[in-house]
């Protein structure tokens, strides 16, 4: 990889959901860039293990709080010049287990964190998702596509919480002049994912390492566009630095089937595992690939890590601490 693109000289940043998979990588990158970082997390789906290597570093502070609660903003003392709102249950296992908490994070939580950013006149960036497009009827998905979402399906607690978050951020921009943007993330993967979160990559890798069948949903023909975590972090921080108020897609450029991901994981691990087909989740998108022209033209961003190289690095991570049980993927 080439060196990361220089970013804005943030002095102090708040990362909500900072003990999660992606949030912890953002905290680390911001610290490495010279910023002080407050990491806020209620540890419902995040883990102190993800930030253990950061807690002894100067300028890093962990704040355990639920951003949906009225007390949390008072604990986030700042002052901040960057607020990254990444607190939400992003994996199907979590948001199906915690539907009301997921909706609260997108509604009350987003409003609370926007208030913190407004208090400090900070740049605010919402982590949204490809799930706002639902099971898309347009391919690839552009930022101006409104989506095809089932508002009462089992996935709706996540899809609609993010769609509401986007509407709330947009209203703050239009009516209060907030310096706020939205980044829509597609299928990020890599080290620090939880083995049991139900998404395809960690599930397949851990099953292959354990010699268990790889549980592929449906017939495996549905597609995903994987983006390695380092590339996603780079894209997120470039959107933050750009001051763009428009939603920006950040995701992989290689569209692959879930079945192909599973078969390649078996090959790369040298596993003897077989492929086992299981029931496909309700409202599981058939095709998913971002149109990233806006990110390329606005930010000069393109993903650098080929998906197979990222899979190798993810395998190396999970091989050091092999879990035991994995649910079927819900990605």
pLDDT in tens, 189-223: 999 999 888 899 999 999 999 999 999 999 999 99
* CATH code at position 204: 3.90.25.10
> Are 91 and 179 in a shared domain?
yes
- Which positions are annotated as active-site residues? 158
> Are 131 and 242 in a shared domain?
yes
The pTM (predicted TM-score) of the whole model is 0.93
249 CB-near residues (< 8 Å, 6+ apart): 130, 141, 142, 143, 184, 186, 290, 291, 292, 294, 295
| Length of the chain in terms of residues written | 331
How confident is the model over 290-321, as pLDDT tens digits?
A: 999 999 999 999 999 999 999 999 999 999 86
SS3 250: strand
Which two structure tokens, joined as six digits, stand for 270?
């040298």
> Are 271 and 123 in a shared domain?
no
Which two structure tokens, joined as six digits, stand for 154?
């089992």
> Are 31 and 88 in a shared domain?
yes
In a domain, 217, yes or no: yes
In a domain, 6, yes or no: no
> Are 181 and 196 in a shared domain?
no
In a domain, 295, yes or no: no
> Are 99 and 165 in a shared domain?
yes
User: How far does CA 62 lie from the centroid of its chain?
Assistant: 20
Residues of the chain scoring pLDDT < 50:
1-2, 324-330
Q: Please count the helices (runs of H) and the strands (runs of E) in the chain.
A: 11, 13
DSSP-derived secondary structure for 303-331: --S-HHHHHHHHHHHHHTS--S--PPP--
* Count of beta carbons in the 10 Å neighbourhood of residue 59: 15
pLDDT on residue 7: 63
* CATH code at position 96: 3.40.50.720
pLDDT on residue 4: 53
What is the rounded CA–CA span in Å between residue 25 and residue 23?
5
In a domain, 76, yes or no: yes
ω into 79 cis (within 30 of 0): yes
Domain range for 236: 12-188+227-250
In a domain, 77, yes or no: yes
In a domain, 161, yes or no: yes
In a domain, 241, yes or no: yes
> Are 40 and 123 in a shared domain?
yes
pLDDT on residue 243: 84
ω into 243 cis (within 30 of 0): no
> Are 182 and 268 in a shared domain?
no
pLDDT on residue 8: 67
Helix, strand and coil percent figures for the chain, each rounded to 5 = 40, 20, 45
> Are 207 and 154 in a shared domain?
no
Structural domains of the chain, count: 2
CA angle 125–251–54, rounded 5-degree value? 55
> Are 56 and 200 in a shared domain?
no
> Are 272 and 168 in a shared domain?
no
> Are 84 and 117 in a shared domain?
yes
Tell me the pairing of strands 275-278 and 227-228. unpaired
What is the rounded CA–CA span in Å between residue 166 and residue 183?
10
What is the rounded CA–CA span in Å between residue 97 and residue 155?
11
pLDDT on residue 90: 87
Angle between helices 229-242 and 21-32 (to 10 degrees): 60
In a domain, 149, yes or no: yes
């Amino acid at each position: 990889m080439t060196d990361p693109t220089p970013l804005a000289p943030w002095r102090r940043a708040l990362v909500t959901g900072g003990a999660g998979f992606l949030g912890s990588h953002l905290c680390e990158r911001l610290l490495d860039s010279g910023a002080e970082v407050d990491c806020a997390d209620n540890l419902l789906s995040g883990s102190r293990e993800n930030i253990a290597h950061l807690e002894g570093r100067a300028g890093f502070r962990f704040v355990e709080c639920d951003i949906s609660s009225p007390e949390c903003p008072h604990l986030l003392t700042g002052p901040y010049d960057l607020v990254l709102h990444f607190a939400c249950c992003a994996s199907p296992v979590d948001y199906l287990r915690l539907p009301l908490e997921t909706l609260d994070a997108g509604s009350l939580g987003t409003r609370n964190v926007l208030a913190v950013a407004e208090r400090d006149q900070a740049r605010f960036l919402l982590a949204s998702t490809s799930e706002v497009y639902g099971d898309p009827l347009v391919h690839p998905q552009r930022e101006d596509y409104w989506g095809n979402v089932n508002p009462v399906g089992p996935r709706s607690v996540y899809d609609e919480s993010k769609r509401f978050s986007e509407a709330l951020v947009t209203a703050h921009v239009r009516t209060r002049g907030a310096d706020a943007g939205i980044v829509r993330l597609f299928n990020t993967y890599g080290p620090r994912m939880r083995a049991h979160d139900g998404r395809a990559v960690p599930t397949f890798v851990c099953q292959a390492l354990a010699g268990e069948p790889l549980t592929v949903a449906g017939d495996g023909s549905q597609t995903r566009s994987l983006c390695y975590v380092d590339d996603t972090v780079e894209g997120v921080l470039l959107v933050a630095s750009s001051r763009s108020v428009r939603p920006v897609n950040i995701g992989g450029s290689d569209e692959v089937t879930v079945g192909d991901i599973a078969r390649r994981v078996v090959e790369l691990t040298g596993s003897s595992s077989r492929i086992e087909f299981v029931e496909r989740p309700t409202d599981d998108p058939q095709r998913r690939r971002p149109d990233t022209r806006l990110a390329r033209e606005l930010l000069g961003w393109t993903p650098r890590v080929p998906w197979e190289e990222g899979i190798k690095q993810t395998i190396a991570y999970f091989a050091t601490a092999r879990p035991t049980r994995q649910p079927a993927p819900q990605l």
